[in-house]
Amino acid sequence: MKTKGGSQDSPHHDGSKLYVSNIAPLIGEKLSLRVRVPNSYIFNEGYIRVYEDGEPRTYQLKLEKKLKHERWFKVAIRVTNIHTLYRFVFVGEGKYEWLNAYGLSDHDVHSNNDFHIVAAPETPEWIGKSVFYQIFPDRFAKSGKVNLQPDWAYPREWNQLPRGRSKFTGQELYGGDLYGVEEKLEYLKGLGVNGIYFTPLFPSQSNHRYDATSFDHVDPVLGGDKAFKSLMKSAKSNGIRILGDLTSNHCGAGHEWLNTAKNNPNSKERSFFYWDKKIKWGYVGWYGLESLPKLNYASKALRQEMYEAKNSIVRKWLTPNVGMSGWRIDVGNMTGVLGSDDYHDEVMHGIRNAMAETNSQAWLVAENGDFKASDLDGLGWHGAMNYQGFMRPFWNWINRNPEITGGFQGLPFAMPKINGSQLVSSIKEFNASIPWRSLTASMLLLDSHDTARFRTVVLGDRKAHTAAMTMMMTYPGVPSIFAGDEIGLEGSWGEDGRRTINWDDTSKWDVEFLEEVKKLISLRKSQKALISGGLRWVAIEDDYIAYLRETKNQAILVLVSRNEASINVDIGAFGYSIDETLYGKKIRGSKINFSSKSAAQGIWQLKAL
């Protein structure tokens, strides 16, 4: 038995527009689906197996055209349901092989990894051309215009390091504010990013603000609503969108809802929480924490407050007079789930519908750390922070620092070391379980405010960091850089990684790396194949990988090695030669053949032979 994919003798199909005539069809619409088959792959008959009203149907593939290196087959189907699941089968003398979203298999497969089209409006168009920059507001930039010192805080000098795992964790206040962010918009524009993802901006009793005391205003410690309004105006004029961060799962112990509920057992707010006299503080906290009261979505009044009402929290921040472009949902997979209660899907769909009604172009991305495929079925979150199908396996592959445990997997052992085949298998496992549209709407990241810094993961290796940044900027999805990564900031875990940027003394900035990041961001935003192309693996070796991003009018090859490697890729076998080197090693012809003494990368525009 075998499962393969990404080789020159394998048929290929993915959910991109090169293969699917409409990735967001209406029910009743006819679709044309295409399959690319190398001439070296011999078969007698090919079929699509598609579900219509839950029943499997088969239709024969027809030859569309034959080229020097490959043939294209097509088939027409009618969209019968919201979810269209399909796969292809090829039969011949001694051949019986299925092609699904995981790859080509010579044994029977099931529908969990079928290709998946969703009859729902397309995800926001603008995210395909976006590169985001994640800002932890307390640590990015300090204007000096805000000097509030809340009673919970331990003030900290700007350029001091966080004190790590201690009683100060979550309470150290460096004084970053939104006026400071506004002052650095020119820097961000010069970097090339066109989106900012802010961790929460709401008032709270911590520096991370995941324990909101109100969802109606911006924290005065950050400059309040006035600073936010000023920032939004400046960001818009600079072509930069703003993504907010919402804790739909919980609020903070100081939240006005909880205070009202405690003081008035007959209040509607009382229904917002889970009460338990056996718990010291009387209510259920997320992860058992007093500081994070778990929200109870059995309450219709809570649903109204959070997302259903016209002036609800989800909606009002997305209205034109406020102007945010979407939400990142904290611990999205845990929202609405406690014991026998499971309101998760209702809440997720409610948030999605509220956003679509308020701003059809708003982006909904969830933290879905312990991945649940049904959350990304095209009707829930548009996408997830792609820890499972990108960051975690990439950390494990490029692993230089195994003592950084588990790659944000919550595992109590050293990070494993995997080879290229294991890396791609992990990636395909994720990709195959969701529609293509959910992959491309997911946030790509090498690290975040919750993890070690990637520069520390690779033990300070700039070349490895450049190779990793190359992959993040060329892979399907929405790239997101954690503030300071572009200058080589380090950190061994979440709090340690939440370091400030020294704007006054740039002598310790990795300016060489900064310039490379700028080049890569520019390519990501300007090349059509990187914006909307498919994904086809062409080389999978222990120490290097290569893949194609292809549209109707452009093909780009990306190669990334994790360390020293002898690289040999014959792109001629796929019917291509190099037309132009876009980044990295300058190469001509159809064969990529060089040795590298360190991590390396290349991005090449191709032409058909």
Phi and psi angles of residue 34, each rounded to the nearest 5 degrees, phi first: -120, 150
Instruction: Give the strand pairing for 70-78 and 30-38.
Output: antiparallel
Residue range(s) of every CATH 2.60.40.10 domain in the chain:
3-118
pLDDT at 368 over 90: no
The pLDDT > 90 percentage for the chain reads 94
To the nearest whole number, what is the mean pLDDT of the chain? 95
> Tokens 């406020």 belong to which residue?
322
Higher-confidence residue of 165 and 374: namely 374
DSSP annotation of 294 reads B
Q: If residue 71 lies in a helix (H) or strand (E), which one and from where to where?
A: strand 70-78
- Which position has the token pair 């034959």? 66
Return the percent helix, strand and coil in the chain, to nearest 5. 30, 25, 45
Torsion of CA 531, 535, 537, 543, to 10 degrees: 40
Give tens-digit pLDDT for 435-452.
Answer: 999 999 999 999 999 999
**Residue 6's pLDDT band (cuts 50, 70, 90):** low
pLDDT at 479 over 50: yes
pLDDT at residue 414, rounded to an integer: 84
Residue owning tokens 């380090």: 490
Task: Please give the DSSP secondary-structure letter assigned to residue 40.
Answer: T
Kindly state the average pLDDT of the residues 323-335: 96
CATH pick for 3-118 out of 2.60.40.10, 3.30.70.20, 3.40.640.10, 2.30.130.40: 2.60.40.10
In this predicted structure, what is the pLDDT of residue 404? Answer: 83
Beta strands in 2-69 (DSSP E): 3-4, 30-38, 45-52, 55-60, 62-66
Q: What is the mean pLDDT of residues 134-162?
A: 96
pLDDT in tens, 42-97: 999 999 999 999 999 999 999 999 999 999 999 999 999 999 999 999 999 999 99
Distance CA 299, CA 558 (A): 50
Radius of gyration of the chain (CA): 25
Q: What string of DSSP letters covers 108-168?
A: ---GGGSEEEE-SPPPPGGGGG--EEEE-HHHH---SS-----TT-EE--TTSPP--SSTT
**DSSP structure string for 409-474:** S--SSPPP---HHHHHHHHHHHHTTS-HHHHHTSEEES--TTS--HHHHTTT-HHHHHHHHHHHHH
pLDDT in tens, 490-522: 999 999 999 999 999 999 999 999 999 999 999
> Is the CB of residue 115 less than 8 Å from the CB of residue 86?
yes
Query: pLDDT value at position 167?
Result: 86
In angstroms, the CA 359 to CA 403 distance is: 44
The per-residue pLDDT for 164 is 79
Q: Judge whether residue 465 has pLDDT over 70.
A: yes
Closest residue by Cα to residue 232 from 133, 292, 320, 153: 320
Q: Where in the chain is CATH 2.60.40.1180?
A: 533-608
Local confidence band at 196 (pLDDT 50, 70, 90 cut-offs): very high
State the average pLDDT over residues 548-575: 97
Query: Which pLDDT value is given to residue 7?
Result: 63
* pLDDT, tens digit (0-9, with 9 covering 90-100), for 90-113: 999 999 999 999 999 999 999 999
Question: For residues 67 and 272, what is the distance between their CA atoms, to the nearest angstrom?
Answer: 63
> For 37-46, 362-371, 567-576, which range has the lowest pLDDT when averaged over its residues?
362-371
Structure tokens at 429: 């496992």
- Three-state DSSP state, 340: coil
Residue 517 confidence (pLDDT): 98
Task: Name the pLDDT band for 408 (thresholds 50, 70, 90).
Answer: low
pLDDT reported for residue 410: 66
Which amino acid is located at 68 in the chain? K
Please state, as a whole number, how many other Cβ atoms lie within 10 Å of the Cβ of residue 419: 15
**Third-level CATH fold of 533-608:** Immunoglobulin-like (2.60.40)
Which pLDDT band, with edges at 50, 70 and 90, does 9 fall under?
A: confident
Residues in Cβ contact with 454 at an 8 Å cutoff, skipping those fewer than 6 apart: 446, 447, 465, 468, 485
Q: How many whole angstroms separate alpha carbon 97 and alpha carbon 261?
A: 60
Place of tokens 């194949």: 529
Q: Which long-range contacts (CB under 8 A, 24 or more apart) does 67-72 make?
A: 67/575, 67/608, 68/39, 68/575, 68/609, 69/38, 69/39, 69/573, 69/574, 69/575, 69/609, 70/36, 70/37, 70/38, 70/39, 70/575, 71/36, 71/37, 71/38, 71/39, 72/34, 72/35, 72/36, 72/37
Instruction: State both tokens at 181.
Output: 């962010």
Q: Tokens for 458?
A: 């690779």
Residue 213: which of 310, 291, 312, 316 has the closest Cα?
291
Spatial separation of the C-alpha atoms in residues 180 and 137, rounded to whole Å: 9
Q: How far apart are CA 432 and CA 339, in angstroms?
A: 30
Query: Residue 555: CA atoms inside 13 Å, Cβ hemisphere, count?
Result: 17
**Structure tokens belonging to residue 21:** 């005539």
Measured between alpha carbons, how far is residue 15 from residues 5, 20, 64, 511, 534 in Å? Answer: 15, 6, 18, 38, 7
> Who wins on pLDDT, 372 or 134?
134
Residue 5 predicted with pLDDT over 70: no
Is beta strand 132-135 parallel, antiparallel or unpaired with respect to 478-482? parallel
Contact in structure between 122 and 90 (CB atoms under 8 Å): no
Is 404 in a helix, a strand, or coil? Answer: coil
The dihedral through the CA atoms of 365, 371, 372, 374 has a sign that is positive
CA distances from 435 to 113, 387, 512 (A): 10, 17, 38
* pLDDT band for position 311 (cuts 50, 70, 90): very high
Q: What pLDDT digit, counting tens, does each position of 20-39 carry?
A: 999 999 999 999 999 999 99
Q: Read out DSSP for 463-475?
A: HHHHHHHHHHHHS
> Minimal CA–CA distance to 329: which of 259, 376, 361, 288?
376
